[in-house]
Amino acid sequence: MAFTVDIHAKVHLPTVPIRDLPNAKDAFIGIYDDIQQVLLDDSTKHLGLDDNRRSYLKKMMDVTCTGGKYNRGITVVEVAMALAEGHAEAVTIQRQAAVLGWAIEFMQAHFLVEDDIMDSSITRRGKPCWYRHPGVTVQCAINDGLIVLAWCTKMIQHFLAGHPHLLEILTLFHRVDQQTTMGQLYDVTSMFDSAKLDPDQKQPTTTDYKEFTLEHYNNIVRFKTAYYTYHLPMLLGLAVTGTLRTIPSDKLEALAVLMGEYFQIQDDFLDCFGEPERIGKIGTDIQDVKCSWLAVTFLAHATPQQTQVFKDNYGQHDDAKIATIKKLYKEAKLEEIFAKYEDEVVVGVNKQLEDIARYNAAFSKSILSLWNRTFKRTF
């Protein structure tokens, strides 16, 4: 019989102290092997997976889905643990939250596999991108990314079978998947003038950077990053504990978007100014003609002469031209502008967390842990 999660129910049940359970990271990592076994066994039993392809998929899963910081996945567990404190089924809730955390991590792995191909990236998490592995073709890598995405639904359906909010959880998950792909559309078309965007007409790379505006950039960030990195972990942590409606949806979304915007702006900054050995990848935003925070902020304040130098050097795989762009960024004091922006974000996040605490103090406290892992990260 399905259990009903309601941490506010006035029912006297034996409780499981949350402190006796593993910490959130241990709980999250600890279920990976179970998830992998279920996914591979299901494909073997129902999809005719042979031993050779099973071995390939196991390696693919290990390489593409593990090795990250796991902030998204751990957040789901942290939120659920905070809200399930003292609940009789705390262990079950924690385990299901860990599965949902991995579903987000798998979705991210899907996006990264495909994104690395789109951007012709070299490394990911300190290793060659999946499509650059010696025994992996680009065609296989594209399909591998799709397999990883399909696994997300499978693991949720298996481990949360009978959960009273299963349909709602799947709906949330797939809605955010759609939002993220829309953000990717904004990203990969940002180098074109959208007024002239036509699938039947070849579009040259832009020379006027008309779409390189803060408004367009915010659309990229909101849909491509904020929803799946911050909003979805928050939503799933609440949904798995049956407490989704304890916080006004607009306040939850505003907090997630603010934190997500900061995360992506920070990522853009590190792509240019971070050390590859620390951030785990070689930055390619400049040569990939990315509509990054650095680019749109620079162009918003540049003189006509500086703008022309930018246009002459941006988006080219030439070390000298890349160095010229970085010099422009330094001369424009973008590092100082970023530091000032960070200070403003801290004030905004703290204010919103205090506001949300009036509705759900346990949730607000759990999100503070996520914010502490995000703020001023160097990798």
Whole-number pLDDT of residue 376: 74
Does any domain span residue 90? Answer: yes
The set of long-range contacts for 102-105, using a CB threshold of 8 Å and a minimum separation of 24, is: 102/28, 102/31, 102/32, 102/35, 102/65, 102/73, 102/155, 103/152, 103/155, 103/156, 103/173, 104/72, 104/73, 104/76, 104/228, 104/232, 104/233, 104/236, 105/65, 105/68, 105/70, 105/72, 105/73
On the question of pLDDT at 6 being above 70, the answer is no
Q: Sorting pLDDT into bands at 50, 70 and 90, what band is 205?
A: low
The verdict on 174 and 152 lying in the same domain is: no
Q: Which of 103, 134, 163 is the last residue of a domain?
A: 163
The verdict on 289 and 141 lying in the same domain is: no
Residues in the chain: 379
Stretch 15-19: mean pLDDT: 49
Does any domain span residue 1? Answer: no
Does any domain span residue 362? Answer: yes
Span 68-80, pLDDT tens digits: 999 999 999 999 9
The verdict on 101 and 196 lying in the same domain is: no
On the question of pLDDT at 111 being above 80, the answer is yes
Q: For residues 373 and 254, what is the distance between their CA atoms, to the nearest angstrom?
A: 19
Report yes or no: 329 and 298 within 8 Å, Cβ to Cβ: yes
The verdict on 221 and 265 lying in the same domain is: yes
Q: Which of 114, 144, 163 is the last residue of a domain?
A: 163
Return the percentage of the chain with pLDDT > 90, whole number: 76
Please give the mean pLDDT across all residues of the chain.
90
Q: How far is CA 304 from CA 136, 301, 313, in A?
A: 46, 10, 14
The verdict on 90 and 215 lying in the same domain is: no
The verdict on 248 and 102 lying in the same domain is: no
Structure tokens given for 79: 């939120």
Whole-number pLDDT of residue 275: 75
Which residue type occupies 150? A
Does any domain span residue 98? Answer: yes
Among the listed ranges 47-51, 67-71, 155-159, 236-240, which one has the minimum average pLDDT value? Answer: 67-71
On the question of pLDDT at 286 being above 50, the answer is yes
The verdict on 187 and 299 lying in the same domain is: yes
Whole-number pLDDT of residue 3: 37
Q: Which of 140, 163, 186 is the last residue of a domain?
A: 163
- HSE (side-chain half, CA atoms, 13 Å) at 223: 17
Cβ burial, residue 242 (10 Å; 0-12/13-18/19+): buried
Stretch 107-133: mean pLDDT: 92
Stretch 84-90: mean pLDDT: 86
Give the number of other Cβ atoms within 10 Å of residue 8's Cβ.
8
The verdict on 105 and 185 lying in the same domain is: no
Among the listed ranges 19-23, 54-58, 364-368, which one has the minimum average pLDDT value? Answer: 19-23
Domain of 135?
Answer: 12-163
Query: Which residues in the chain belong to E strands, given as ranges?
Result: 123-124, 127-128
Whole-number pLDDT of residue 279: 63
The verdict on 67 and 199 lying in the same domain is: no
Instruction: Give me the number of domains the chain comprises.
Output: 2
Q: For residues 84 and 90, what is the distance between their CA atoms, to the nearest angstrom?
A: 6
The verdict on 138 and 255 lying in the same domain is: no
Return the percentage of the chain with pLDDT > 70, whole number: 91
Does any domain span residue 4? Answer: no
Which residue type occupies 103? A
Report yes or no: 298 and 337 within 8 Å, Cβ to Cβ: no
What is the CATH number for 216? 1.10.600.10
Structure tokens given for 27: 């709980």
Does any domain span residue 3? Answer: no
Span 24-35, pLDDT tens digits: 999 999 999 999
On the question of pLDDT at 331 being above 50, the answer is yes
The verdict on 222 and 354 lying in the same domain is: yes
Does any domain span residue 6? Answer: no
Q: For residues 29 and 147, what is the distance between their CA atoms, to the nearest angstrom?
A: 21
The dihedrals phi and psi of 196, each to the nearest 5 degrees, come to: -110, 5
The verdict on 70 and 179 lying in the same domain is: no
On the question of pLDDT at 5 being above 50, the answer is no
Which residue type occupies 148? V
Whole-number pLDDT of residue 280: 64
Structure tokens given for 50: 């042979």
Does any domain span residue 215? Answer: yes
